[in-house]
Amino acid sequence: MENVLGIINLINEKQHLKELTAHRNVASVPFGGRYRLIDFTMSNFINADVSKVAVFPKEKYLSVMDHLGSGKEWNLDRRSGGLHILPPIHPDEKVTGDMKQFYDHLSFFERAEADTVIISPGCHVCKLDFNEVLDYHKKHKADITVVYKDYVGELIEKPIYNTCSVDSDEDITDISFYTIPKPGDHVCLETFVISKALLVNLIKSCVASGEYDFLKDAVKANLHRFTVKGYNFTGDMPFIHSIESFHSSNMNFLNPTVIRSFFGDTWDVYTKIKHEAPTKYSRSSKVTNSLIANGCVIEGTVENSILFRGVKVKKGAIIRNSIIMQKGEIEEDAIVENIITDKEVKITSEKTVIGLNQPTVIKKAEVI
Amino acid sequence: MGAKKWIAMLLAGGQGSRLGELTIGLAKPAVPFGGKYRIIDFPLSNCTHSGIDTVGVLTQYQPLILNDYVGNGKAWDLDLDVGGVSVLPPYQGKEGGEWYKGTANAVYQNIQYIDNYDPEHVLILSGDHIYKMDYSKMLDYHIEKNAEATIAVIQVPWQEASRFGIMNTNDDDKVTQFDEKPKYPKSNLASMGVYLFNWKTLRRYLINDEKDATSSNDFGSNIIPKMLEDRKKLYAYRFNDYWKDVGTVESLWQAHMDLLEEKPNFQLDDQQWKIFARNANHPPQYISSDAEVSQSLINEGCMIHGKIEHSVLSYNVQVGYGSTIKDSVIMPNVTIGENVHIERSIIASNCIIENGAVVGNSAVTSDITLIGENQTIINPNKKKITLN
């Protein structure tokens, strides 16, 4: 796509994945056997041929920087365009809002050759075609297009989603903050299309008047002044708002139809290459209904589970309904059920760990 | 441009005709291996791990896939401003141009490329073997021996020695004689096709060899014997690890089966010596509730509903319900239908094996069955459906 600047906005991340976000931002949370959440947004940009992408992290961004590197896995190691990571420039100051951090990097926006900006967070697992959103934006001569999705799923405990009201002309008429959406409510996906000129003006004027939140101070405050359209995203996208929904949306991928729909021939989801060997199954391995990444060595039993890259499952070990992240080691005769182990967890031999009522997380590098 | 300590020249122009249908559309170094790699990944990864940052890849036969695969070398960390990887096909100059006549001639035609880097040493590699080798240890040995050429050798069983180029050496491993496929071998030290030369010496020999109309312009048959004749200091460097020539369908199959041992002699998942490959992006492999997988290597993008026993499956292989794959090698993007039986076979890339088809012969004395690229195998018993 010509003249489009992609922004991955991590400034408004909410910490509802508890232990999984203790030492990393939400965008870096591992997902689906070999990905990080941010890979889906990155790939949405790459699949739409957006060749200039800037990531705005707020905190705990070491893992996202390590993951994205020079951007070469996404073909973003370019002389013109490419990947930019723009963290807060005053690390001691509390970040007051995304507009403040955009303002601190205002010259980046001003210098960018793009005339349109697409802003998206780094936490949605979906195939969102930005070309279609952009066409919609142009066709409706919108000043700002807000992407929303009708809520599906169980009742959420905490009010964490922003919802929007849309009239029959697809105009956004109101935005409500921190709500508990009912099924069918329009959840704002924090994904927007806006012209660069308007965005730069809004960044300047908001910050000048001490307003720092893009959705509240730039979009909602201007609903009557601008044409703000709602684009209804109807594709697959799990709402991940808790450890349980994280677990179940991973488990949704234990289904050939879902795998094909997300990773079909025409839509690659790119991630960091680890150069792991193919996975090795021994004589004693018993694997059923599981998603297995490369570099694993499986000598035990794995049922209804997801193994990330480089997981070792020793003889006699049993893993059921669990997610074992990168380089986990499940030793001889250990039993792991209904568990999410973060990276590099070791369950020593003959230990049993079971998540009783809900999936339980075992913290990074813990040895049990 | 500053001088380089050493550079490598990788001979990747051979057809590998003994691999039959596997090399109709691609050169031997581009043949898939180990469920994820191509043969050329092994020498290229060895270069990266040995600290060689300049590699010329000499191509000739069916170079398109190989050129595209090597690309700018970034998979092997060889995407550098000075050096890195260069694909070197034969080219036309002011005096005309010609095909590479032999391995030595291929390097001769690229003297200018090598001179650009002004290296002290040049390592000559081939793209035919599966092995992990630290060439820097060979360089240390070469310098220690004050050699003009060092040839990597491996001990082979005596009864097989007459299939190889054999180095006869004195007690100090100084090479005294080179026997190409001797009927009565005097030694069992086989040349691995890995040569390290002082560039100034090699340069002179290449130029003289080119002037010799009777020469077949080959390292093994001409350059090495000529240097021995001239009493140059040639040393054999003993390599004691896994090394496999995969030049035939049988040996290619066997090298895959070697990977499936409980404790294999050759490990692909060595964290200290990863084999780098140009990765296509594929989701994790899915093993369904109906699948049974044992003693196998399976790569990303596979979707398995059948029974996989003692086999290697490359990326994007689909295996339908009720199918069995045993003692076989399945290359990328192969679609296998339902109730298929495959045994002791190599199925090349992009094949389609239709429902109910049977491939391979289970008798251990039988030859390995090879299905070439892009073929469709049907069930011979299938009733033909005719449309009116």
Per-residue pLDDT tens digits for B96-149: 777 888 899 999 999 999 999 999 999 999 988 999 999 999 999 999 999 999
For residue A293, what pLDDT band results from cuts at 50, 70 and 90?
very high
Q: What percentage of chain A has pLDDT greater than the value 90?
A: 72
ipTM of model: 0.90
Inform me whether the pLDDT recorded for A92 exceeds 80: no
pLDDT at position B384 is 56
For residue B63, what pLDDT band results from cuts at 50, 70 and 90?
confident
In total, the C-beta contacts within 8 angstroms joining chain A to chain B are: 109
- Tell me how far apart the alpha carbons of residues B331 and B33 are, in angstroms, rounded to a whole number: 8
- Could A278 and B277 be called an inter-chain contact, meaning their C-beta atoms sit closer than 8 Å? no
What's the Cα-to-Cα distance from B59 to each of A156, A288, B24, B76, B96, rounded to whole Å? 61, 44, 15, 18, 18
What token pair was written down for B26? Answer: 């691609």
> CB-CB: which of B268, B279, B287 is closest to A288?
B287
The β-bridge partners of B308 are B293, B325
Classify A37 as helix, strand or coil: helix
- Could A33 and B289 be called an inter-chain contact, meaning their C-beta atoms sit closer than 8 Å? no
State the virtual CA torsion across A308, A313, A318, A320 in degrees, nearest 10. 0
Contacts of B300 in chain A (CB under 8 A): 34, 278, 293-294
Which pLDDT tens digit goes with each residue over B181-197?
A: 899 999 999 999 999 99
Inform me whether the pLDDT recorded for B3 exceeds 80: no
Q: How are the residues of chain B apportioned to helix, strand and coil, as percentages rounded to the nearest 5?
A: 25, 30, 50
- Tell me how far apart the alpha carbons of residues B171 and B358 are, in angstroms, rounded to a whole number: 55
pLDDT at position A294 is 94
DSSP notation for B126-178: ESSEEE---HHHHHHHHHHTT-SEEEEEEE--GGGGGGSEEEEE-TT-BEEEE
Which pLDDT tens digit goes with each residue over B15-46?
A: 778 888 888 888 899 999 999 999 999 999 99
For residue A300, what pLDDT band results from cuts at 50, 70 and 90?
very high
Which among B294, B329, B289 is positioned nearest to B309, based on CA atoms? B294
Which pLDDT tens digit goes with each residue over B223-263?
A: 999 999 999 999 999 999 999 989 899 999 999 999 999 88
Top-confidence residue, B356 or B94: B356
pLDDT at position B298 is 97
pLDDT at position B383 is 59
Top-confidence residue, A368 or B280: A368
Which pLDDT tens digit goes with each residue over A21-74?
A: 888 889 999 999 999 999 999 999 998 999 899 999 988 888 888 888 888 888
Which among A125, A129, A120, A132 is positioned nearest to A40, based on CA atoms? A125
Contacts of A306 in chain B (CB under 8 A): 284
Q: Determine the distance in angstroms separating the CA of B132 from the nearest CA of chain A, rounded to an integer.
A: 14
Q: Contact at 8 Å (CB) between A212 and A96?
A: yes
Inform me whether the pLDDT recorded for B90 exceeds 90: no
- Tell me how far apart the alpha carbons of residues B232 and B200 are, in angstroms, rounded to a whole number: 13
What token pair was written down for B103? Answer: 């391995």
b vs e for A102-136, b when ≥16 Cβ sit within 10 Å of the residue's Cβ? bbbbeeebeebebebbbbbbbbbbbbbebeebbeb
- Could B288 and A256 be called an inter-chain contact, meaning their C-beta atoms sit closer than 8 Å? yes
- Could B286 and A287 be called an inter-chain contact, meaning their C-beta atoms sit closer than 8 Å? no
Contacts of B288 in chain A (CB under 8 A): 256, 288-289
Contacts of A324 in chain B (CB under 8 A): none
Instruction: Tell me the average pLDDT across B49-69.
Output: 90
CB atoms closer than 10 angstroms to residue A140: 16
Classify B255 as helix, strand or coil: helix
- Could A34 and B35 be called an inter-chain contact, meaning their C-beta atoms sit closer than 8 Å? no
Q: Contact at 8 Å (CB) between A307 and A292?
A: yes
- Tell me how far apart the alpha carbons of residues A32 and B350 are, in angstroms, rounded to a whole number: 26
Q: Determine the distance in angstroms separating the CA of B274 from the nearest CA of chain A, rounded to an integer.
A: 7
What token pair was written down for A250? Answer: 């991973």
What token pair was written down for A28? Answer: 């870096």
- Could A293 and B293 be called an inter-chain contact, meaning their C-beta atoms sit closer than 8 Å? no
Q: Which of B49, B76, B269 to mutate to test the interface with A (most CBs of A within 10 A)?
A: B269
Q: Which residue of B has its CA nearest to A270?
A: B281
Inform me whether the pLDDT recorded for A13 exceeds 90: no
Q: Contact at 8 Å (CB) between A260 and A269?
A: no
Residue A294 touches partner B, C-beta closer than 8 Å: yes
Contacts of A285 in chain B (CB under 8 A): 293-294
Which among A42, A27, A32 is positioned nearest to A127, based on CA atoms? A42
Inform me whether the pLDDT recorded for A156 exceeds 90: no
Q: Contact at 8 Å (CB) between B26 and B55?
A: no
pLDDT at position B387 is 55
pLDDT at position B42 is 96
Instruction: Tell me the average pLDDT across A129-142.
Output: 95
> CB-CB: which of B35, B289, B294 is closest to A289?
B289
Helix (H) or strand (E) holding A259: helix A256-262
- pTM for the model stands at 0.91
pLDDT at position A2 is 64
Inform me whether the pLDDT recorded for A94 exceeds 90: no
- Tell me how far apart the alpha carbons of residues A161 and A123 are, in angstroms, rounded to a whole number: 13
Residue A280 touches partner B, C-beta closer than 8 Å: yes
Cβ-based neighbours of A312, under 8 Å, separated by 6 or more: A296, A297, A328, A329, A330
Which among B180, B28, B21, B287 is positioned nearest to A288, based on CA atoms? B287
Q: Determine the distance in angstroms separating the CA of B66 from the nearest CA of chain A, rounded to an integer.
A: 19
User: What is the phi/psi pair of residue B57, to 5°?
Assistant: -105, 110
Q: Determine the distance in angstroms separating the CA of A348 from the nearest CA of chain B, rounded to an integer.
A: 22
- Tell me how far apart the alpha carbons of residues B119 and B216 are, in angstroms, rounded to a whole number: 26
What token pair was written down for B159? Answer: 């009864």
- Tell me how far apart the alpha carbons of residues B2 and A245 are, in angstroms, rounded to a whole number: 57
